[in-house]
Amino acid sequence: MEAWVISNIVTSLLLVSSVLVVLAVRRSRMWSEAMGSLWKRRPIAIGVVAFYLAIGILDSIYWVGGINAGEDVVSAHEAKSVIDRLFADSRERSYSAPLADVEFYGSAPLENPGWHLMGTDLIGRDVVYLAMKGVRVALLIGGLTSLIAIPLSLLFGISAGYFGGRVDDVVFFVMSTLASMPTLLLLIALIMAMGRSTVSICIALAVTSWVGFCRLVRGETLKLREQDYVQAARALGVSELQIILRHILPNLAHLVIITFVLTFSGLVLSEAVLAWLGVGVDGSWGQMIDQARSELSRDPVVWWNIAAAGLSLFGLLLAVNMVGDAIRDILDPRTLRESP
């Protein structure tokens, strides 16, 4: 199956499941109240995140055909996303400054004068288009990694915390082993060994990030296991699986969400460093920053490439961090403990 078909399927699955999540949230009083107060606290940040998500989704739905007449045969048969189609005719020959009418070097007239909000790059691609393509990559890195890391850490963290004994020893040993290697070096080593592809980068990021989360889940499970209601359920003869599903897992939900949001920015930042080391994902903002680095020493300076990539990255991470902070304040009872 071609990559774009998979992308379509995954996107639709994610959309369907997010609708289901929204419905579930509205049924639960606690969660809908939490979401309500989140919206009240951080309307702008949530709006920004939604904007990024919308771009990411628009860039994840592909289909073939419907390309304008001017296109050559090869690209007419290539699958393109909504974002690709918006910028289909935007190609210039080389650098142009933001909103310029002529090329940056040589003053030749542009195909689309005054149209490029953030100018064009060395080979004439629109910079806003490149920055928008980076959104999907960033969301993919954060999302796919979490999709691998969170279930793993829940599985291992809960079994270690709940069953203790040998299981705990093994999980704890694996965690200490992974945690003792320098994160960035481990990341690079894994990516170099597995070969460089989006999936292997996400796997590598998952390997390095699940440990912290697993430790958190394990600790919380240890605490929950000793709670009276869990003891009571056990005394009543409820099966272990039932106890985990009904009493442990729902009480970890807030932790999952907080950790997911707060690690997201770390993952995107790590990818930027990886991109600079030459082992990142193609089309990421990190790669854009790395490629645009030398442009700052040109004279006159070509600044819009790095500015666009840097601002896109900063905007997403700032919004996500703000939302994450607010979510933690709302959901984590430890910060609510105000009595002296």
Partner 1 sequence: MSELLKVEGLSTVFPGTPRDVPVVDDLSFTIDEGEVLALVGESGCGKSMTALSVMRLVPKPGRIDRGTIVMNGRDVRGLSIPEIRKLRGHEISMIFQEPMTSLNPVVTVGKQVVEAIQLHEAVDFGAARKRTIELFERVGIPDAAPRFDVYPHQLSGGLKQRVMIAMALSTRPKLLIADEPTTALDVTIQAQILELLRDLQRDTGMSILLITHDLGVVNELSDRVSVMYAGRVVEHAEREELFGRPVHPYSIGLLRSNPALSRPGEPLPEIPGVVPPPDEWPEGCRFANRCDRVLEVCGDEIPGATVQGPHKFVCCHAIAREGADD
Partner 2 sequence: MLAYVIRRLSYGGVVVLGVLFFLFVVFFWVATPDDIARRALGEKAPPEAIEQWKINHGYDRPLWPWQSLEDNMLFSHYESMLTFDFGRSDADDVPILEKIRTGAGPSLALTVPMFLLGLPLSVMLSLVVAVFRETYVDRMGVVLCVLGMSVSILLYIIGAQFLIAKLLRWFPISGFDPSPQVVMRFLSLPILVGIVSSIGSNVRFYRTVFLEEVHRDFVRTARAKGCGEARIMARHVLRNAMIPILTQVVIAIPFLFTGSLVLESFFGIPGLGALTVEAIQGNDFATLRTMVFVGALLFVVAQVLTDVSYSLADPRVRLE
Residues near partner 2, by CB under 8 A:
173-174, 176-182, 184-186, 188-190, 192-194, 265, 269, 272-273, 276-279, 286, 289-290, 293, 296-297, 306, 310, 313-314, 317-318, 321-322, 325, 334, 337-340
Residue 339 beta carbon to partner 1: minimum distance, rounded to whole angstroms: 6
150 vs 330, which CB is nearer to partner 1? 330
Query: What spatial distance separates the first Cα and last Cα of the chain, rounded to whole Å?
Result: 60
Residue 58 interacting entry, from partner 2, partner 1, none, C-beta within 5 to 8 Å by type? none
Cα separation, 206 vs 204, whole angstroms: 5
C-beta of 76 vs 188, nearer to partner 2: 188
Per DSSP, helices labelled H in 164-296 are 165-179, 183-194, 198-225, 228-235, 240-243, 249-276, 285-292
Nearest approach, Cβ of 41 to partner 1 (angstroms)? 12
Asked if residue 144 lies in contact with residue 321, where contact means CB atoms within 8 angstroms, the answer is no
Sign, CA torsion 109/113/117/120: negative
**Minimal distance, residue 185 CB to partner 1, in Å:** 36
Peptide bond preceding 113: is omega within 30 degrees of 0, i.e. cis?
no
Residue 201 and residue 279 in contact, taking contact as beta carbons nearer than 8 Å:
yes
CB contact at 8 A, 70 and 89: yes
- Maximum Cα–Cα distance across the chain: 82
| Alpha carbon distance 156, 151 (integer Å) | 9
Q: Shortest distance, CB of residue 4 to partner 2, whole angstroms? A: 27
Nearest residue (CB) to partner 1, 40 versus 293: 40
Binding partner of residue 182 among partner 2, partner 1, none, CB under 5 to 8 Å per kind? partner 2
Q: In whole angstroms, how close is the CB of 37 to partner 1 at the nearest point?
A: 10
Determine the residue type at 87: F
308 binds, among partner 1, partner 2, none (CB under 5 to 8 A by kind): none
Cβ nearer to partner 1, comparing 39 with 105? 39
Given a contact cutoff of 8 angstroms between Cβ atoms, the answer to whether 313 and 285 are in contact is: yes
| Partner interacting with residue 186 (select from partner 2, partner 1, none; CB below 5-8 Å by kind) | partner 2
279 binds, among partner 1, partner 2, none (CB under 5 to 8 A by kind): partner 2
Q: Are 162 and 244 in contact (CB under 8 A)?
A: yes
Applying CB under 8 A, the residues found at the interface with partner 1 are 338-340
CB 128 within 8 A of CB 118: yes
Q: How far is the CB of 237 from partner 2 (least distance, A)?
A: 37
User: Which CB atom, from 163 or from 276, has the smaller least distance to partner 2?
Assistant: 276
Least gap, CB of 332 to partner 1 (angstroms): 18
Identify what 321 binds: partner 2, partner 1, none; CB under 5 to 8 Å per kind: partner 2
Which does residue 177 bind out of partner 2, partner 1, none, counting CB within 5 to 8 angstroms by kind?
Answer: partner 2
Residue 149 or 289 with smaller CB distance to partner 2: 289
For residue 333, the one-letter residue type is P
For the packed helices 43-58 and 29-41, what is the interaxial angle rounded to 10 degrees? 100
